[in-house]
A = this chain, B = another copy of it.
């Protein structure tokens, strides 16, 4: 368990040159079996580990990928992170993590910071994406993927699920269950693209079923627990009692359910509620949450795989990857009695 054994030490001890040692550890060039074995023995004996810093310096490959996230403790984020981490390790990459707390400044700064740290690529998760982000990502001079619920219209690599369709489907599902007055609690105001995609899915389903759009049913509360709670509370306090609430985030949905319960109503008996993402807690909460399943782990896996491919200049089929979603029926929605 010593340190500081260098390639030199190994070379000397094995009676060969350092280039030969280098060749065997990378098997980059042919080496006689005999010599090879000898070197291998010495390596094992001394416990030599090549210094990746020195290696990176010459190869210009740091084996590092930067991951920018709003917050590790967000369940949407950390389930994705699991996928990122595992695949990265599989390809011998390490992850440099940057928490931004959804601060745009921080997000932009992180890109530079990570680049300075010599990462070879970047995976970014962010709730909100505007032109500054796009510019930064496009000009950062290295492979970058953006994991999002949206961003289909920007010319950057993204992995996502189809929001418009998912929102449309879920709204339809709710309508199919007899609900007409459907509250829609979504991300905060500033996220224009996601906003539009989701809203259009919601509106489309409504109009196809000849239900008038009622703007007072739409809330921009954000996707946090608190946001969901507050939005629903406001709705109820304004005397608006929807048949169902479609909350575009599981934690927010649970916040909404709690707000409903605190106001003396019952879920799903009085008001049905659905979430989005199918995060761990969706199964743990009671009533179990009916929600839109997204393959979070896979989204992370695909995104990191994409940057690795980009780094290695492997062919990629398309800049946009959309992963499938599906509605998971659990207990928070029931048929409305008319």
Contact = CB atoms under 8 A, between A and B. Distances in A.
B72 A99 contact: no
Nearest to A62: B53
Contacts of A15: none
B116 A52 contact: yes
B86 A99 contact: yes
A78 B85 contact: no
Contacts of A51: 57, 118
A297 B255 CA distance: 23
Interface stretch (A31-39, A281-289, A303-311): A281-289
Nearest to A54: B57
Interface string A33-76: 00000000000000001111110110000100000000111010
Contact of A73 (B79, B116, B251): B79
A73 B85 CA distance: 11
A323 to B, nearest CB: 18
A261 interface: yes
- Copies of this chain assembled into the complex: 2
B78 A82 contact: no
Contacts of A86: 99
A284 B254 contact: yes
A275 B321 CA distance: 41
Interface stretch (A90-98, A191-199, A210-218, A240-248): A90-98
Contacts of A96: 94-96
Contacts of A99: 82, 85-86, 89
Contacts of A280: 73, 225
B286 A258 contact: yes
A286 B116 CA distance: 46
A335 B179 CA distance: 41
Among A1, A54, A284, the one with the most B-chain Cβ atoms within 10 Å of its Cβ is A284
Interface string A128-140: 0000000000011
A97 B89 CA distance: 10
Contacts of A62: 53
A92 to B, nearest CB: 10
Interface string A1-21: 111000000000000000000
A49 B116 contact: yes
A229 to B, nearest CB: 9
A21 to B, nearest CB: 16
A315 interface: no
The 7 nearest A-B residue pairs measured at CB: A73-B78, A49-B116, A1-B139, A72-B78, A72-B81, A85-B99, A53-B57
25 contacts: A1-B139, A2-B141, A3-B115, A51-B57, A51-B118, A52-B118, A53-B56, A72-B78, A72-B81, A73-B81, A73-B280, A75-B75, A85-B97, A86-B99, A89-B98, A94-B96, A95-B96, A95-B97, A96-B96, A97-B97, A251-B284, A254-B284, A258-B284, A281-B281, A281-B284
